[in-house]
Amino acid sequence: IEQAIAGVWAELLGVERVGRFDDFFALGGHSLLAVSLVERLREREIATDVRTVFAHPTVAALAEATVTAPAGAVEVPANLIGEDTAVITPDLLPLVELSQEQIDRVVAQIPGGTGNVQDIYPLAPLQEGMLFHHLMSPEHDVYVLSNLLAIDTRENLDGFLAALQTVIDRHDVLRTSFHWEGLPQPVQVVHRRPALALEEIELDPDGDAARQLTSRNDSSRFRMDLTTAPPLRVLTGYDAANDRWLLLVLMHHIVDDHSTMERLLEEIGAVLSGRHDLLPEPVPYRNVVAQAVLGVSEAEHEAFFTGLLGDVEEPCVPYGVLDVHGDGSDVAEAEIVVDAGAAEQIRALARREGVSAASLFHLAWALVLARLTGRDDVVFGTVLFGRMHGGSGADRGVGLFINTLPVRVRPTAGTIGDGIRGTHRLLTELIGHEHAPLGLAQRCSGVPAGAPLFTTLLNYRHGMSAVAAADAAEAVAWAGVTELGVQARTNYPVLMSVDEFDDWFLLSLQAQAPIDADRMLGLLVAALHDLADGDTGRDLAELDVLPEAERHRVVEEFNATGMSLPSGATLHGLFAERAAETPDAVAVIDGGGVWSYGALDMWAWGLAERLSDLGVRAGERVAVVMDRSVALVAAELAVLRLGAVCVPIDPAGPQQRMRDLLVTSGVRVALTAPGLELPDVMIVRVDVDPAEADGPVRPVPVPAVADDTGAYVLFTSGSTGTPKGVLLPHRALVRLVVDGGVVPIDRFTRTAFVTSPTFDMSVLELWGPLVNGGSTVVVSRSDLLDPEVFADLLIQHEVSMMWLTVGLFHRYAPVMGKTLSGLRHLFVGGDVVNPEAVGQLIREHAADGLINGYGPTEATLVTTYRVSAPPSAGRSVPIGRPLPNNQVYLLDDRGRPLPVGAVGELYVGGAGVAQGYLDQPVLTAGRFVPHPFDDGGARVYRTGDLGRWLPDGTIEFLGRNDHQVKIRGFRVELGEIEARLLEVPGVEQVSVVARADAGGDRQLVAYHVPAEVDGANLREHLAAVLPGYMVPAAFVGLDRLPLNKNGKVDRAALPAPDSDAFARAGYQEPQGAAEQTIAAVWAELLGVERVGRFDDFFVLGGHSLTAVTLVERLREHGLPVDVRTVFTHPTVADLAASVGTADRLVEVPDNLIPDIGPDDDAGLEFTL
């Protein structure tokens, strides 16, 4: 046996001699050659299969694992339908169970009836998937493949078509139609004599002929009728500009795969060159179906995939694109050729490890997905060759042999060598299940029904050898035929195709928008380079896969924000310069009072004198317990002038919180307003009374203050319930307020002082104008809360710049739109802004000054984005680019930079970063971490926020990482649900939270403003765009969302939903005839005892194939519905309502045409 095996290897692989310990893959073998090897060995009565070749790749090991007598081979039952069969009965169909009535129904659809039926059998696994997507999209068909040819003469065009008809006549799968209506499962029917029809198109001689012809196959409009044979369509037209004929061949993927296309090209070439008689006997496609039906049992498939996927609980979704029912439109493509040198490196590594090159590409793809998803355990689809167990002649068979199945890889565990060998073992095991249905594999996982297991597909293919390709091309070229282009599409968001040729690889990637195909393909190339460097002892976790150009882009280019600042500048120092230059200019407007720079300066000196007398020194923290007022401005200026640190505390807050902040901050002195009650703590109180502002002033020693000296301590909420004091230095604030730091600010700038003094953006409102010669207008609490008064105040004082929290913006945009649009700079921030509110302001009032801002207190304002046009549908408003002297890095869990489009955590570096948390060194060390790209001791702030780079260098904010919750095993980002809800017209504000129900299980609750919006409509909208686990269980309407003192949504104050807010849980009896019919059909189809009106089809065990059957059963009961509707309305109640028949069935009118005899037709009248 060893000698026979070695002889076949030498012949097949083209090597001179083969030793007993030589490795099939090291000698150049691959999966396609493995199929040929099995065939050659079978001819020598050595029975083996491809999986055995992969598992035992040496001559000695294969011989030991092989037996000389066939064992376990699938016996394909004969086709019992003869040419003289008059009636097809159930006993003539060994591969499918149909009743006589069902058979008759199928035969009645075939032109010529029984005499034109050669065979009937079920669909192969991937054919079932193709049919599902065909039915899922009734307006288009993603799986129609197109091939555009140019043919020099009409004579050669006719000759090519005749050759194509000859090839169709040879292969049963090309003479097949598909039928499913009224059947327990779809079947395919092989016709004996289907004719290929030619559709001739008159092309405009002045237009692009190729474009005119190919537009006939626009995937968003064209659809092929699968109930007719052959499943091909050919269109031709004369290209007058080039004096040639164009031929567009359209073939449905349900009968075709990559190897089939190559085989068809070879056979057409053979016919055209007169070598028809030399073609081998065609292989019946029923052999493939028999392998799937009679081969490995369903129980064996289930055991394997449960072991592989049983603990996988959430989809693997790079870039967050979840739609696996796409129509192939809006797809970008990218290609890269891996030349002979790089290809040899890959093959050399594969030979050293005794694996196929395909294993390396699968591992490299897993590395890419791990990098993009932030996961150490990834799942993706792989396209199985499908010919490994296809029976005799499978290597030359025509039809859809391939199948898609999941691969699970842990690409960060162990060494590179471990990863390569582990991937190879998995692919070898998968070969034994190559005919398993994908739906079965998915049901064996822990991913809830209705959600995809994966969204990316790797298709590794072996191209024709150079000799075979040249022969085929020469044959058709001799006949005047030139191939102009081939187009194929997929329903998956990402399809990665690898074509292996003699000494090179072609990498092709199709990606659904907004995924960047070129960028994703670049990641794969980088991963291959990392793998192929030869050191298989390196840890997989060390591999980065980020190309150097992409790294430079996201780390350096997007952060090229350097801007010259005044050396050693401080807030009070810059103010003093302005006061000296223009002492009479207006600095602050507060109610009826107007304060000049000079007056404010003198008042602050007087307060500084009082503080100095109390012993306040540089570095000491001083509380400022005051509301927005000119007195607060003078107080803060006085504190800063002494080199001390301002600690603003909200006077309207609870006494206990005020007490906690005074104690935590360690202040000895507190500046406050006369008459304001302070907690009973050991502090020195200093009242700041405007009546005493013009008192006598004596000089006070002013210490030298460096720009890295603390200026403010601002408190933010802490996760433990204890507020955190953030220490901000002068440099962090100066870069914010100098002219051009955020926006141009000059002496004509007037800001509205509307935010709480404890909020970091009050620094911009207050010091932005005061260090540039402008003015700030103080807005009282009462004025701010009255939109009419507030608008009048902004107009009266000609305010040009203002910051509003998102909560206030959402409230005021509808009623103050004209006023707000008149501002030169309107900052909005502190939460996620509603893109619809932004768009409405721009559309209705031509607002051009709106700026979306982002920045945690620990880094003040970090990024800004000026909104110049209404946001696109379904897109959020970006938070913009880093401000001058700031850097933003989007990093993964290992602190590595992420490519554009991938979701990561935002880290902030640069001049705006705070010094840390007050007296909390452990917390400071955990959040202010060493700069990952600077060895000079700098630190960056780890925000805990999620985002991604957009291609233009702006950032899309995606919420807090602590707003990620686990629902039914899925990680859910609440911000994504909120963004989708804001797409619904009429929705102004939303907040989504996870709350525990009575049983302790977490469920999503959505709160929306206004309350009048119908929660059912919101639920329906989300169900159409998000997976079921992301659709909230309850929708609560509110007149307004509760806000905290900083203007952000106070999630803790959101009310618990009442019972009416929930989609009903538990069993409820179906209501009305339609619901009762649907429930009964479900119960019968899914094998459950009873079905309630709020039960979910997929939760009960439904899947894509049963959905097809469901549609047919419902149509039989007069309920018209399609597959897509089942997916978007998966409960009994929703499905009944969606077809508009919640309380009635369709009444089918009687046939009013009377029966007539063969001689009675002359007098028949037709009327409408």
Q: How far apart are CA 1107 and CA 611, in angstroms?
A: 78
Q: Which of 370-374, 580-584, 992-996, 1130-1134 has the highest mean pLDDT?
A: 580-584
Q: Looking at the structure, do residues 1054 and 1075 belong to the same domain, yes or no?
A: no
CATH code of the domain containing 1056: 3.30.300.30
Please check whether residues 106 and 207 belong to one and the same domain.
yes
Q: Would you mind telling me the total number of residues written for the chain in this entry?
A: 1168
Q: C-alpha distances in angstroms, 166 versus 264, 276, 278? A: 11, 9, 14
In whole angstroms, give the CA distance from residue 997 to residue 967: 12
403 plus 378 within the same structural domain: yes
Structure tokens at 131: 């049919």
The pLDDT score that the predictor gives to residue 1166 is 25
Q: How many helices (H) and strands (E) does the chain have?
A: 35, 40
1023 and 1105 belong to one structural domain: no
pTM: 0.77
Q: Please report whether residue 184 resides in a domain.
A: yes
Give exposure, 64-89, as e/b (b: 16+ Cβ within 10 Å): eebeeeeeeebebeebebeeeeeebe
Sign of the Cα torsion 812, 817, 818, 823 reads positive
Residues 1042 and 1122 in one domain: no
| pLDDT average, residue stretch 280-294 | 86
- Cα 301 to its chain centre, rounded Å, is 30
What pLDDT, in 10s, does the model give residues 140-196? 777 888 888 899 999 999 999 999 999 999 999 999 999 988 888 899 999 998 888
Beta pairing, strands 863-866 & 850-854: antiparallel
Tokens of 253: 């993927």
Task: Give the CA radius of gyration of the chain.
Answer: 36
Query: What pLDDT does residue 597 have?
Result: 97
Same domain, 999 and 962: no
- DSSP per-residue codes, 59-89: HHHHHHH-BSS--S---PPPP---TT-SS--
Asked, for residue 173, whether it belongs to a domain, the answer is yes
Both 982 and 962 in one domain: the answer is no
- pLDDT interval class at 1084 (50, 70, 90): confident
Please state, in angstroms and rounded to a whole number, the distance separating the CA atoms of residues 750 and 758.
21
Q: Are 433 and 305 a contacting pair, CB within 8 Å? A: yes
User: Mean of the pLDDT values across residues 980-1009?
Assistant: 81
Task: Provide the token pair at 986.
Answer: 């009429």
**Closest of 238, 245, 215 to residue 149, by C-alpha:** 245
329-338, 462-471, 780-789, 807-816: segment of lowest average pLDDT? 462-471
What confidence category does residue 1144 fall into, taking pLDDT thresholds of 50, 70 and 90?
A: very low
Asked whether residue 1036 falls in the same domain as residue 1164, the answer is: no
Per-residue CA distances from 662 to 478, 654, 683, 717, 1147 (Å):
92, 12, 9, 15, 77
Of residues 889 and 181, the one with the higher pLDDT is 889
How far apart, in whole angstroms, are the C-alpha atoms of residue 1136 and residue 231? 34
The span from the CA of 385 to the CA of 32, in Å, is: 8
- pLDDT for residue 936: 84
| Spacing of C-alpha 285 from chain mean position | 37
pLDDT of residue 337: 94
Q: What is the pLDDT of residue 727?
A: 96
* Domain at 454, CATH number: 3.30.559.30
pLDDT tens, 539-559?
998 888 899 999 999 999 999
Instruction: Give the mean model confidence (pLDDT) for residues 718-731.
Output: 79
Using an 8 Å Cβ cutoff, are 686 and 670 in contact? Answer: yes
pLDDT in tens, 120-139: 999 988 888 888 878 877 77
**pLDDT tops 50 at residue 30:** yes
CA 425/CA 145 separation, integer angstroms = 33
Q: How confident is the model at residue 217 (pLDDT cuts 50, 70, 90)?
A: low
- The domain boundary, picked from 551, 574, 603, lies at 551
Q: List the structure tokens of 869.
A: 């046009």
Q: For residue 214, how far is the Cα from the chain centroid?
A: 30
Domain boundary among 267, 288, 309: 288
Are 161 and 235 in a shared domain? yes
pLDDT of residue 457: 93
Give the pLDDT score at 865.
86
Question: Is the pLDDT score of 11 beyond 90?
Answer: no
Question: Does 357 share its domain with 417?
Answer: yes
Residue 834: CB atoms within 10 Å = 27
Q: 3-class DSSP state for residue 109?
A: coil
What pLDDT was estimated at residue 769? 96
Looking at the predicted structure, is the pLDDT value of residue 465 above 60?
Answer: no
Confidence of residue 452 (pLDDT cuts 50, 70, 90): confident
DSSP alpha helices (H): ranges in 84-231? 100-107, 125-136, 154-170, 209-214
Q: How many CA atoms lie within 13 A of 463 on its CB side?
A: 17
Last-in-domain residue among 1046, 1063, 1080: 1063
Give the side-chain half-sphere CA count within 13 A for 32: 20
> What is the per-residue pLDDT across 847-876, written as a single tens digit (0 to 9) for each?
888 999 999 899 988 888 888 788 877 678
Q: Mean of the pLDDT values across residues 1087-1093? A: 83
Number of domains in the chain: 6
Give me the CATH number covering residue 256.
Answer: 3.30.559.10
Nearest to 416 by CA among 363, 483, 494, 480: 363
What pLDDT shows up at residue 1142? 39
Ramachandran region, residue 1000 (left: φ > 0; alpha: ψ -120 to 50; beta: rest): left
Query: How far, in Å, CA of 251 to CA of 244, rounded?
Result: 23
Read off the pLDDT band of 474 (50, 70, 90): low
Asked, for residue 1125, whether it belongs to a domain, the answer is: yes
Residue 110 buriedness (CB in 10 A; 0-12 / 13-18 / 19+):
buried
pLDDT on residue 24:
80
**Which band of pLDDT confidence, cut at 50, 70 and 90, is reported for residue 220?**
low
Tokens of 533: 């460097």
3-state SS, 900-957, equals: CCCCEEEEEEECCCCCEECCCHHHHHHHEEECCCCCCCCEEEEEEEEEEECCCCCEEE
> Residue 1155 — very low, low, confident or very high, per pLDDT cuts 50/70/90?
very low
pLDDT class of 290 with cuts at 50, 70, 90 = confident
3-state secondary structure of 665: helix
- Asked whether residue 914 is domain-assigned, the answer is yes
Please name the residue ranges forming H helices in 906-1014: 921-927, 974-981
Higher per-residue confidence, 572 vs 698:
572
Half-sphere exposure of 1104 (CA within 13 A, CB side): 24
Q: What confidence category does residue 360 fall into, taking pLDDT thresholds of 50, 70 and 90?
A: very high
Q: For residue 990, what are the β-bridge partners?
A: 1008
C-beta of residue 482 within 8 angstroms of C-beta of residue 150: yes
Task: Give the range among 155-159, 960-964, 991-995 with minimum mean pLDDT.
Answer: 960-964
Q: Which pLDDT score, from 0 to 100, does residue 314 have?
A: 86
Give dist(CA 657, CA 642) in Å, integer. Answer: 27
Least confident span in 41-45, 243-247, 409-413, 1033-1037: 41-45
Q: At 828, which CATH number? A: 3.40.50.12780
Alpha carbons 948 and 180: distance in angstroms, whole number = 45
Residue 672 forms beta bridges with which residues? 625, 687
Alpha carbon dihedral 402, 405, 411, 413, in 10-degree steps, equals -130
pLDDT for 488 beyond 90: no
CATH of residue 1112: 1.10.1200.10
Pairing relationship of beta strands 1002-1009 and 1034-1037 according to DSSP bridges: parallel
The 10s digit of each residue's pLDDT in 223-279 is 788 999 999 889 999 999 999 999 998 888 898 887 777 788 888 888 988 888 888
> What mean pLDDT do residues 350-369 have?
92
Residue 821: inside a domain? yes
Question: Chain-centre distance of CA 126, in angstroms?
Answer: 24
pLDDT at 27 over 80: no
Residues 954 and 976 in one domain: no
Q: What share of the chain is helix, strand, coil (3-state, %, to 5)?
A: 40, 20, 40
Among 878, 875, 843, smallest CA distance to 862 is for: 878
Q: Is residue 162 part of a domain?
A: yes
Q: How far is 168 from 198, CA to CA, in rounded Å?
A: 14
Of 131, 136, 126, the residue nearest 325 (C-alpha): 136
Higher-pLDDT residue of 336 and 478 is 336
Domain co-membership, 237 together with 327: no
Which structural domain range is residue 533 located in?
320-389+397-478+489-551
The predicted structure's pLDDT at residue 560: 93
What per-residue confidence (pLDDT) applies to 391? 55
Can you tell me the mean pLDDT for 206-210? 87
Q: Which residue has the higher pLDDT, 19 or 415?
A: 415
Q: What is the 3-state secondary structure (H, E, C) of 695-763?
A: CCCCCCCCCCCCCCCEEEEEEECCCCCCCEEEEEEHHHHHHHHCCCCCCCCCCCCEEEECCCCCCCCHH
- Which segment of 416-420, 533-537, 729-733, 993-997 scores lowest on mean pLDDT? 993-997
Q: Is residue 624 assigned to a domain?
A: no
The one-character DSSP state at 91 is: G
User: Mean pLDDT for the chain?
Assistant: 85
At 469 the pLDDT is 52
User: Going by C-beta distance under 8 Å and a sequence separation of 6 or more, which residues neighbour residue 154?
Assistant: 245
**DSSP letters of 782-835?**
HHHT-HHHHHHHHHHTT--EEEEEHHHHHHHHHHHHHHHHT-SEEEEESSPPPH
Q: What percent of the chain is modeled with pLDDT above 70?
A: 89
The enclosing H or E element of 685 equals strand 684-687
pLDDT for the residue numbered 193:
87
What pLDDT was estimated at residue 572? 95
Handedness of CA 83, 85, 89, 94 (dihedral sign): negative
Structure confidence at residue 219 (pLDDT): 56
Highest mean pLDDT among 530-544, 994-1008, 1059-1073: 530-544
Handedness of CA 1089, 1091, 1095, 1097 (dihedral sign): positive
Residue that wins the pLDDT comparison between 358 and 959? 358
Say if residue 946's pLDDT is above 80.
yes
Residue 420 lies in a domain: yes
